[in-house]
Structure 1
Amino acid sequence: MHNLVELDLCVTNLSGVDENYELPKSLFKCKTLVVLKLRSHIIINTPDDSWCLPRLKVLFIETDPVNNLMEKLLDGCPALEVLAVTGHVRVEDLDFNISALELKKLTIHLVTRYRLDEYVGLLNLNVSVRAPKLEYFHLQQSVLSSFVLENSKSLVKATIDLTHHGAAKHPTFASRATALLAQICHVKSLSLSSHNLDEICDLPIFGNLNQLKLHLHRCCSWWLELLKRSPNLESLVIEHVGHNCRGPVYFVKHVKPLWHPPELVPNCLLSHVKTICIIGFGGKDDEFKIAKYLLKNGEVLNSMKIYTDGDLCAKKLEKLSMFERGSKTCKVDIWQRFRNKKN
């Protein structure tokens, strides 16, 4: 009645007793609503009769997804451009379908519960996205679902975060990861975090990729294979995110060293990569070897920025600056966190 434009609703129950709250039916007939954010234990029951949010462009929902939830909700949002969905998958079988013809930005963060002996729901979690105008896609899953991204040619930027080490050991992970990467291989900018890819996945060619950010775990050894398949890469960011892999203990008893130099140098390093940034540099041996390799083989490199994680001694900093450089014009800047000091 008051021409509402934006509603941000977060309901927190401090009593310790689980309680769900149902949205009023009138909300789904608000003709002026543009931004809607719903968080906490909220039941999203759309009216049985006709309803529509004709001006809604931004929708953030935090809920435990159930079958047909998104179909019912998005049917009444014809102008939606930004969608973010966060939730825990608590059912054994789930078809999570998103169809939005005007959607430009999509974020999905689904957490699948697991036991130490198996990942529950892994085989029966199916996600389908139909968004022909989609430009940005962010997917974060503890367990990778079976994923279909229709008409993804408009996609420019993607962020893929596969968080759990153990899930990558499941027999279905290889085929699902291969299919997902093949559907986003034409992006220009990619941020990727995963524990295993090269040994079990058939990585596609990323012919349009010019910006790449990699989050490297201790067990990672696949990332140089991705560089080989990114012939036009110009900007590379590597972030060392620590040496403790998450997931069931029995999956990570034998963690491989991070660094496996390839026999052939990726062509993009020799001819295209102009800037490299290394974040979270802690001074470990394999981190030094990675920096040394990139400097030596970056023949057209203009700059390398290294952000140290902690307080490295002067000798280690000097060691970084003395590495051989494949490009005579390459400038190396070293920044120490906590000191805000440039070397």
Structure 2
Amino acid sequence: MADPPEKKMLKRIPDGDNIDRLSALPNCVLLRILSRFRTKDAAATSVLSTRWRDLFVSLPDVNLSFRVDSDASDRDRMFFDFIDFANRVVRQRNKASIGKIEVSVMHFVKSYRLAFESLLVSAAAALSSCNVQQLLISVRIDKTTERFSIPIPPGIFSSKTLVSLTLSFEVDWNVPDFVWLPNLKYLYLFEFRLVDEDSIQRLLQGCPLLEQLMLFVQSFSYESESEEGIEVEVLHISSPSLKSLVLCWNAKVELEFTVVVQSENLESLVCSLKGQHKVTIDAPNLKSLTVEGDVLEVHINQSLVSIDKAVVRAEFLHNVTNDSDLFLRVQHAFKFISGLQNVKSLTLSENILKALYFSQPALPTFRNLIKLELIPVYCYYFPRSCILQVLSNLFESSPKLEVLIFSEVFKNYFGEDEEFGSVFLQALPLTFIGHLKVIEMTNFRGEEHEFKLIEYFLKNGKSLKKMALEREAREDWKCVPEDCERILSFKKCSDDCQIVLKKKWDHITCPKFRQLLNLSP
């Protein structure tokens, strides 16, 4: 009988064999192994063999990171060593293809500017010679350093192969006059400071295939190193190819300005604003809309026929000055909500409900609304009875509503009455509850008024299929068996209704991630 393969191999290898079999592997296999390491660690393996001393410079992805202790005495020397190494990695490619270049620098100070510019030039050159598809550059300045500017090489904005570009700069930079990124689909700009009204539009015009744009703006008033002040009054974003847009202001801007979004193919829009702003939306095919923060007006030019989901956490009554101002604000709020009457899933905070209370016309009929989530924002100076009135009108205007979600229910949620249950019939009429199929409470605390509300729903929900109650992750349902028993003892109008008791983060199934969050297995 022939020997097994393992025994044959053992017979061929003499004792004390010190053959470098790793170096005998083909380059493609070695590169596959080295690709598991960061670029710096892959370079460190060069000491293992002269056969693959410079092989790391041919890795498909380049990951360059400078992170040291901010108090390190030799931090300056380490930074310039990092720049020398990074330039070598990028420049010695010999035109070998690069899938992704990622550069991350922490504790950046003004004295590093010239050296870092050389790395940016190297990266720009690699874009044209190495067919780079993804470029990510992140710069975080030292906490003791004031903002300053860095010129971005024009080559970074004129690449035929770049598909994704991410720039996260705490230093100032400006969009060049010429932009041509014909294959760019994903553009993410963080810590971005506008210096003129045309910079974003120059970018968009040079990206004819752009699908996703994330723009995190620092400030609209800019002072350059020459102390020249520039103010931006209008941010115009127009692109026929754009499908997803996220706008976020990281710093509060007191000056009023207008945001104009125009795109025939836009499907998802998120506006998270701080300050007093006006937003105009011309996107007839929009499917998902989120508006958060402080706004004066959100105007929808065309009817959103295809809208599926809307999240409204905007404060339309922010800094109201007088009765005339109040009148205009509430009219804008009502007109905005009316533009969402085709929505299927709607999330509303009480900020918008307060504005709707002051509007005279009745709410439009939300004929397609199936799912409604309510986010309370308790306000001592605004009567709960007013919120109750708006909620009643909203429920009455949603004839097809099936899913109702309360992010939280506090004691006087439906009014000032001490007896929580006394207003149920007014706030939640039986005709309305009869259509509901799913009811959720995402922040259940085990308070008496919550039990009463649950009992009311279960007793009268003839179409109810599920009652889902979610507690904080640290509050295990097993620790309060009496709560479980009480809920399960409630009489159910629908025999098909399932009561689901869960904890936050139960949707996370990855064991390692659950362990990291200190969740139960």
Q: Which TM-score applies when normalising by structure 1?
A: 0.77
Distance 2:329 2:232 in 1: 17
Cross-structure match for 1:199: 357
SS of residue paired to 1:21: coil
Cross-structure match for 2:213: 83
Is the 2:316–2:330 contact (alpha carbons within 8 Å) kept by the matching residues of 1?
no
Is the 1:57–1:81 contact (alpha carbons within 8 Å) kept by the matching residues of 2?
yes
* Residues 289 and 179 of structure 1: CA distance in aligned 2, closer, same or farther (over 3 Å): farther
Question: How much does 1:305 deviate?
Answer: 0.9
* Bigger mean CA deviation after superposition, 27-36 or 259-268: 259-268
SS of residue paired to 1:71: helix
Structure 1 residues not aligned, in runs of 5+ = 115-119, 244-255
Distance 2:210 2:392 in 1: 38
Question: Does structure 1 residue 125 correspond to structure 2 residue 257?
Answer: yes
Question: How much does 1:15 deviate?
Answer: 5.0
Is the 1:191–1:214 contact (alpha carbons within 8 Å) kept by the matching residues of 2?
yes
Question: Does structure 1 residue 178 correspond to structure 2 residue 325?
Answer: no
Question: How much does 1:113 deviate?
Answer: 2.4
Structure with bigger strand share is 1
* Residues 19 and 53 of structure 1: CA distance in aligned 2, closer, same or farther (over 3 Å): same
Cross-structure match for 1:265: 429
SS of residue paired to 1:155: coil
Structure with bigger helix share is 2
Distance 2:245 2:133 in 1: 21
Q: Which residues in structure 2 correspond to 1:105-120 (within 5 Å)? A: 105-110=244-249, 113=252, 120=254
Cross-structure match for 1:234: 402
SS of residue paired to 1:317: helix
Cross-structure match for 2:94: none
Q: Deviations over 1:159-218 (max 9, x none)?
A: 3333x6972867354334333333333232333334341423564433222233333333
* Residues 85 and 44 of structure 1: CA distance in aligned 2, closer, same or farther (over 3 Å): same
Distance 1:266 1:125 in 2: 46
Paired residues in the alignment total 318
SS of residue paired to 1:12: strand
Question: How much does 1:100 deviate?
Answer: 1.8
SS of residue paired to 1:195: helix
* Residues 296 and 55 of structure 1: CA distance in aligned 2, closer, same or farther (over 3 Å): farther
Is the 1:158–1:187 contact (alpha carbons within 8 Å) kept by the matching residues of 2?
yes
Pick from 5, 8, 11 the counterpart of residue 139 of structure 2. Answer: 11
Structure 2 residues not aligned, in runs of 5+ = 1-127, 222-230, 274-292, 416-423, 505-517
* Residues 336 and 27 of structure 1: CA distance in aligned 2, closer, same or farther (over 3 Å): closer
* Residues 264 and 14 of structure 1: CA distance in aligned 2, closer, same or farther (over 3 Å): closer
SS of residue paired to 2:216: strand
Question: How much does 1:239 deviate?
Answer: 1.7
Percent identity of equivalent pairs:
26
Question: Does structure 1 residue 138 correspond to structure 2 residue 270?
Answer: yes
SS of residue paired to 2:442: strand
Pick from 457, 463, 485 the counterpart of residue 318 of structure 1. Answer: 485
* Bigger mean CA deviation after superposition, 187-196 or 23-32: 187-196
Question: Does structure 1 residue 167 correspond to structure 2 residue 302?
Answer: no
Q: Which TM-score applies when normalising by structure 2?
A: 0.53
Question: How much does 1:289 deviate?
Answer: 4.4
Cross-structure match for 1:53: 181
Distance 1:15 1:88 in 2: 16
Is the 1:129–1:148 contact (alpha carbons within 8 Å) kept by the matching residues of 2?
no
Cross-structure match for 1:157: 309
* Residues 199 and 166 of structure 1: CA distance in aligned 2, closer, same or farther (over 3 Å): closer
